[in-house]
Structure 1
Amino acid sequence: MTADPDVAATRAEAEGMPHPPLLVLDALAAYLAETGLGDDVRAWRRIGDGHSNVTYLIDVGTRSLVLRRGPRPPLPPTTHDMLREARVQRLLRDAGIPVPQILAVCDDSAVLGVPFYVMEHLDGDVITDALPAALDGETERRGVAEATIDALADLHAVDVSVPPLATLGRPEGYLARQVERFASLWGTVSRRDIPAVETLAGWLGANLPASARTSVVHGDYRIGNLMFRRQAPATVEAILDWEMATLGDPLADLGYFVATYAEPGAATTPLELTPVTRLSGFPGRTGLVARYVDRTGADVRALEWYQTLALWKAAVFCEAIHTRWLDGERPGDAFAPTLERGVPALLREAARVAGVTADPAPAGDPRSRPRPSGTAR
């Protein structure tokens, strides 16, 4: 036995577990051997702060690899597409964007229950609730934030007008589709009635800005999804977590970054995953937006709309996480229970940014309501 409820040593052990494991070690070792990456799986450790897809650091012989897979099935259609995520990273690496090298992609669900990919392990720091010593001075803290903005500007400068990058999405109508899609999801992922969801959907739809240009949109761009080199000055070694990447309006990334960037006096929400930016030395949101404008020439007069979109979308996908936890599909997840109040907090902040009156209070106890028909998991 592995003594890990998410990991099985063998397929036989996996079949006797109450929930499908995230790793099956003998099946993984056989796959890695077949692809030439080694068969001596010596250690494994879950890494990253993501609450959607799952990332493991795997020690194979004398080298370390990183494995990325979706959560336990069943999965909603078109979500957690590891094959597409790996393809995005390969294309962006070819375009000069710092991303880990993809070493193998497995589309055979018989190995781990879902498709997955394996990439190189980079020796750097991901910044969340603590800073590495080399980047923990006043000057270095500013450098971390500025390097983050510069990497975003570089990503948005990639030419997406020609194949193969031009095939990554449908930029026309991107913002309208985002609003329509997430508005339609609430009824399938939630057991709660929260009037603010519909109010904000209406406001977003009625105030849709015109997109000035098209770029790669990361979809979850924040400091916690970057890896920094271990020495000063702050340098982005890799941009991680490309699950939601597509082509669309680059200000969607900037709005999301601003909405997730913690600064003194800002409201705390479940999107605050790198709270160290509240410390002295880190520039405020306004200064970072100005740096992005200097790098790109973007018109950011409608940025509050994009911030509102980010917070409202986050409320919807966080509600899906909370519902899966209520249904016993995320055992041992300490984050999911906090979303009972975290989702209303996101909606409250979205309403504040938009300047609208919206009631974020849920009606009734979510545990007392049955799963809606056709609920996406």
Structure 2
Amino acid sequence: MGKKVTVLVVDDSVICRQLISAALSDDPDIQVVGTAANGQEAVALTKELRPHVITMDVDMPVMDGLAAVEHIMAECPTPILVLTGDPRSQAPALTYRALELGALALQIKPSIDAGPEAWNLTKEVKLISSVRVIRHVRGQKRGAPGMPHTPVPALPAASMGIVAVAASTGGPQVLYRMLSELPADFPAPIVIVQHINAAFSESLASWLANASKLKVRLAVDGDTLQPGLVLVAPPDQHMVVPVRGRVALKPGVERDGHMPSGTVLLESVAKVYARRAVGVVLTGMGADGADGLLAIKQGGGLALAQNEESCVVFGMPGAAVERKAVDHLIHGDDVAATLARLARGESLAASR
């Protein structure tokens, strides 16, 4: 890999710091350059050591992880991976607030005998080490879910049949804003593949549901698609739309390195809904969703992708652009407004 990825480990528990450091140090491409026991120490050490990545606990004394993320992203922007215990034992809003403030991803803390957890940790650290993070002025982050926003007006029934979304790194924040702004009578179902650690899938759906007037939940095999229903793909299986109005979950192999795969979902939607399909590829690493978006465009549907300016990572939308699969590039803050215009039957200006 060449130059090692340097990491600052932040956790108030000595045992957790040791476990995290040991898991990271087992990878020859990673070097732990420092540890901190609270957010205040983390801010100071980030400025001193300039690590490539920070692993951040949330609940800590002196200064908690949320405050530390806010300070670091305002003063010394650095890729931050938030580590938690069992997501089911924590309020989703607390953990996901770190993403709103600029952290890039969530992972489970490794335990003493946690092989898969350690592997996921090192994989994620290496992935986010190359992400170009931006400075977040405290309390002024554009599009942060906690900021005031104007809900989209109620919509009439339209020819839009379904909206299919693929997202990865940075996606939860965009989805939160989108779903918080769409009205309860949005006239189409929405199906979403968001790449996230399997342990966080349920809490992600809960967090999004609490922000939205729509009904948001994890998909179940055989679900009936209805206007205003938002289905999030559960982990470790593909979500597809085999016939109009129904969702199926099926085992399989990874596509573009992922299961569930955005491309698998979008291709199935393109086949069934054709011109009534709207595909959206949001911020994320890799190329998942790009081929699926191309299928939607070629089937006569509308292909949207998030623009580079507003992406945490332009990988997935960029891959779609390279495949000439995009009809329109849109800002991450404007997804709900764009879908509302389409639902009203309005056209969009040509993307440049």
TM-score (norm 1): 0.27
Structure possessing the higher relative contact order (Cα contacts under 8 Å, 6 or more residues apart): 1
Larger Rg: 1
Between Structure 1 and Structure 2, which shows a larger proportion of strand residues? 2
Between Structure 1 and Structure 2, which shows a larger proportion of helix residues? 1
